[in-house]
A and B are shown apart, each in its own frame.
Chain A
């Protein structure tokens, strides 16, 4: 491969792409990707190769319990391992994307394997067709259980899934000031999904858990006539999904959700009837891709990552990182747990401590993003975690960054140390005041040399301290 010199801007843009379309990367990978070129990397992200993104044999051999997932924590740990190690980073990020929207919580499902299988399906189907995804979701055992569709019968309709499918999974309450559906549509939708149920399961051992299985029960389905979003017929669930997907409000829903997740924070869905998108032109481009492609998510993502609104410098480091971004981004930057080793469990619990209990969203609405990730408790957890990891100069990613700093010259000034560290963990810009405080702190330690072994140890320790303190800054909370 020919290596043209990459500019600082190319590195910054690539770092931005890899943070948003994945969970960040080591500095070494960012530079290699920048050499590969932005467009080529986008295409690679959009078209995961046939080769698996992760060596599953190795993973299951090291962590056999991931296979059965008897406990929810096992499912969470496997997800975190995959987030750190999946080479198909966008695929992994899209699994998280759908999990924040079409979510079931194991606090209710109480069957860790079934709940985890929903997440696995988002990984496999998350970049495919939206209609296929909703159809699959309507047969997903975790969802049918979570939103009580198993209790919805021809003679006693339970509206829970029917309502949330419209309110939170596909249309939203309203757009442009109008309501997207009525209470009668909710009832019709719920009736159309009667009989979408689970097969009885036999546990493999007493009190054991067997994954739930979908079963359509024709005897329990309401075959009567229904009027749904203005169309009348003997609708079944798949007809309802068909009707949903052709609504302009469905295009708006997916577009705005993608924009919110990948570009810049939007308010939560319940307010969308009255709140305008923050960048209507961008949303309209995404909506067009939705209809032009016949509801293909990858087509929308292609428009998104090539859009000027995505590359815009103003949106970089302007989104509060989700707990998953904080934890996985830090691990990938430091190159920790890039292969099976003890201690992953404790890393995997961190997103929960920061307010993002994977597989256990607080409500069917998922998590509120943006500044709502931050409160005094979660901020303490975020700071403590990231500073602990980035201060550990034994970790390969941190070690590599320290070596890069040493390569800058035989002796560094405090300014060079601080600016070098900021460049390597970002490139990240911080306020002048904060930078001055850091420079002052570093300069108090005297000259930064690395000739002798003793000097090298001192240099490493102080570089680690600088990374650590950068991880505590307010600017570091953004991605």
Chain B
């Protein structure tokens, strides 16, 4: 277990679309890298070296500080067997931990259920963004899904307070008996009750926050700031989730500019997030995972890269033991998977298991399905 006395909190950020791991953490001393990336290779002098063989994409510069502090773990060669090249299938697999069957339960949904089996706190799991990501989906587990933290509430058009209170009372009674005409209606009713409770509590968060950090708004920045606001308010949230929009890391074309902007967005927002947590004195019990559903093909296609398999993930936090985990996949042509993809050498479920057992203090077996060798990054 961890040394902190406060409950451990896990923040997860999905870099949706398949981030090109090979151009994020770059094997710059390997001549094969230049062979595979005639168009997209990053000039050596721009790469930020981590050691004699690997370096960061220049846009990830703001994260180098945390590497130097020993608080950034880089998981290389992460993936799963027979990687699916379909975004949706692969996202689903990362979300459900079920590569062989079609899972509908999300791993973080299971985590929230484990942490709060009696639904004592409707804010144990909070998603930022519209729509509920599969990673958090689980029957009977309330997840607050917040599109806009500053105006979150029910029947807000009723201006007279007395009238609104009466209407909310009636709403509560109508939604109270969670007996509808079936599972979907039961789900809607319990969601309604949870929404009403969650909205009341979440509404207090922005007023308690004194933010000074600048985030790059647009992709993940605003929602990462919202995470800090809610964490700062001490509402008992243990799992935060957000996702970069719209398959945005799907850089089939014009990757040089596209990925550079995307990584810049990630790195600067992670830096702001960490600094913001530190500024509020609440950084010690948060660990953040950033992942993508797959890496991209070794060989570039002249403008971008196509879907691949083995990729890279990042774990960052005060309690994280920084360094490299997993192995960098071999770039030798004979070692590539069919179709020219980097072969993964550690399963994403090992990373999940590490976070669950060593950080959250949970039994990972029922959550990720089976026993997976753990890393030592936390």
A157–B302 CA distance with the chains assembled, in angstroms: 10
A431–B181 CA distance with the chains assembled, in angstroms: 8
Asked if A353 is at the interface (CB within 8 A of a chain B CB), the reply is: yes
Interface size band for B: 35 or more
Among B122, B170, B175, the one with the most A-chain Cβ atoms within 10 Å of its Cβ is: B170
Of residues 144 through 160 on chain A, the ones whose CB sits less than 8 Å from some CB of chain B are 148, 150-151, 153, 156-160
Given contacts A362-B246, A474-B180, A376 and B174 within 8 Å (CB-CB)? no
Chain B contacts of A364 at CB under 8 A? 87, 247
Fill in one digit per residue for A466-479: 1 if any B CB lies within 8 Å of its CB, else 0: 00110011110110
Indicate if the CB atoms of A270 and B89 lie closer than 8 Å: yes
Asked if A275 is at the interface (CB within 8 A of a chain B CB), the reply is: yes
Give the Cβ gap from A101 to chain B, nearest Cβ, in Å.
13
- CB-contact partner of B88 in A157, A270, A371, under 8 A: A270
Indicate if the CB atoms of B301 and A158 lie closer than 8 Å: yes
Asked if A271 is at the interface (CB within 8 A of a chain B CB), the reply is: yes
Indicate if the CB atoms of B177 and A433 lie closer than 8 Å: yes
Given contacts A148-B304, A370-B184, A376-B143, A438 and B174 within 8 Å (CB-CB)? yes
A296–B154 CA distance with the chains assembled, in angstroms: 45
Fill in one digit per residue for A200-236: 1 if any B CB lies within 8 Å of its CB, else 0: 0000000000000000000000000000000000000
Indicate if the CB atoms of A477 and B173 lie closer than 8 Å: no
Indicate if the CB atoms of B131 and A378 lie closer than 8 Å: yes
Of residues 291 through 317 on chain B, the ones whose CB sits less than 8 Å from some CB of chain A are 301-304, 306-307
Chain B contacts of A159 at CB under 8 A? 306-307
Asked if A434 is at the interface (CB within 8 A of a chain B CB), the reply is: yes
Query: Which partner residue on chain B sits nearest A272 by CB separation?
Result: B102
Give the Cβ gap from B299 to chain A, nearest Cβ, in Å.
9
Given contacts A371-B187, A431-B180, A378 and B154 within 8 Å (CB-CB)? no
Give the Cβ gap from B178 to chain A, nearest Cβ, in Å.
9
A15–B155 CA distance with the chains assembled, in angstroms: 27
Asked if A379 is at the interface (CB within 8 A of a chain B CB), the reply is: yes
A151–B192 CA distance with the chains assembled, in angstroms: 46
Asked if B157 is at the interface (CB within 8 A of a chain A CB), the reply is: yes
Of residues 75 through 97 on chain B, the ones whose CB sits less than 8 Å from some CB of chain A are 85-89, 92
A275–B173 CA distance with the chains assembled, in angstroms: 38
Fill in one digit per residue for A245-284: 1 if any B CB lies within 8 Å of its CB, else 0: 0000000000000000000000110110011000000000
Chain A contacts of B88 at CB under 8 A? 268, 270, 363, 365
A354–B146 CA distance with the chains assembled, in angstroms: 11
Interface size band for A: 35 or more
Which of B3-11, B44-52, B194-202 participates in binding chain A?
A: B194-202
Indicate if the CB atoms of B155 and A383 lie closer than 8 Å: yes
Query: Which partner residue on chain A sits nearest B199 by CB separation?
Result: A380
Indicate if the CB atoms of A275 and B102 lie closer than 8 Å: yes
Asked if B252 is at the interface (CB within 8 A of a chain A CB), the reply is: yes
Indicate if the CB atoms of B306 and A472 lie closer than 8 Å: no
A434–B142 CA distance with the chains assembled, in angstroms: 22
Chain B contacts of A61 at CB under 8 A? none
Indicate if the CB atoms of A384 and B154 lie closer than 8 Å: yes
Indicate if the CB atoms of B253 and A158 lie closer than 8 Å: yes
Fill in one digit per residue for B175-212: 1 if any A CB lies within 8 Å of its CB, else 0: 10101111011011101101100110000000000000
Given contacts A151-B301, A376-B198, A437 and B130 within 8 Å (CB-CB)? no
Query: Which partner residue on chain B sits nearest A373 by CB separation?
Result: B131
Asked if A320 is at the interface (CB within 8 A of a chain B CB), the reply is: yes
Give the Cβ gap from B292 to chain A, nearest Cβ, in Å.
14
Asked if A387 is at the interface (CB within 8 A of a chain B CB), the reply is: yes
Give the Cβ gap from A27 to chain B, nearest Cβ, in Å.
23
Indicate if the CB atoms of B192 and A474 lie closer than 8 Å: yes
- CB-contact partner of B170 in A357, A360, A441, under 8 A: A441
- CB-contact partner of A153 in B89, B154, B194, B302, under 8 A: B302
Indicate if the CB atoms of A384 and B184 lie closer than 8 Å: no
Asked if A306 is at the interface (CB within 8 A of a chain B CB), the reply is: no
Of residues 275 through 294 on chain B, the ones whose CB sits less than 8 Å from some CB of chain A are none
- CB-contact partner of B157 in A151, A360, A374, A384, under 8 A: A384
Give the Cβ gap from B159 to chain A, nearest Cβ, in Å.
11
A107–B246 CA distance with the chains assembled, in angstroms: 7
Indicate if the CB atoms of A474 and B131 lie closer than 8 Å: no
Of residues 118 through 171 on chain B, the ones whose CB sits less than 8 Å from some CB of chain A are 122, 127, 130-132, 137, 142-147, 152-157, 166-167, 170-171
Asked if A372 is at the interface (CB within 8 A of a chain B CB), the reply is: yes
Indicate if the CB atoms of B188 and A379 lie closer than 8 Å: yes
Chain A contacts of B156 at CB under 8 A? 384
Indicate if the CB atoms of B132 and A372 lie closer than 8 Å: yes
Chain A contacts of B248 at CB under 8 A? 107
Asked if A56 is at the interface (CB within 8 A of a chain B CB), the reply is: no
Chain B contacts of A148 at CB under 8 A? 252-253, 304
A379–B185 CA distance with the chains assembled, in angstroms: 12
Of residues 429 through 474 on chain A, the ones whose CB sits less than 8 Å from some CB of chain B are 431, 433-434, 437-438, 441, 468-469, 472-474
Indicate if the CB atoms of B339 and A183 lie closer than 8 Å: yes
Asked if B245 is at the interface (CB within 8 A of a chain A CB), the reply is: yes
A173–B89 CA distance with the chains assembled, in angstroms: 11
Indicate if the CB atoms of B174 and A375 lie closer than 8 Å: no
A167–B84 CA distance with the chains assembled, in angstroms: 13
Chain B contacts of A167 at CB under 8 A? 86
Fill in one digit per residue for A338-363: 1 if any B CB lies within 8 Å of its CB, else 0: 00000000000000111101001011
Chain B contacts of A441 at CB under 8 A? 166, 170
Indicate if the CB atoms of B246 and A151 lie closer than 8 Å: no
Subset of 7 A-B contacts with CB under 8 Å: A158-B253, A353-B130, A363-B247, A375-B132, A376-B194, A377-B147, A473-B174
Sort A-B residue pairs by CB-CB distance and give the 3 closest, nearest first.
A376-B195, A375-B132, A375-B145
Query: Given contacts A173-B89, A270-B86, A383-B155, could you give 8 more A-B pairs where the C-beta distance is less than 8 Å?
Result: A163-B86, A365-B88, A376-B194, A379-B191, A379-B195, A380-B199, A437-B174, A475-B185
Which residues of A are interface residues toward B (Cβ below 8 A)? 105, 107-108, 148, 150-151, 153, 156-160, 163, 167, 173, 183, 267-268, 270-271, 274-275, 318, 320, 352-355, 357, 360, 362-365, 370-372, 374-381, 383-384, 387-388, 431, 433-434, 437-438, 441, 468-469, 472-475, 477-478
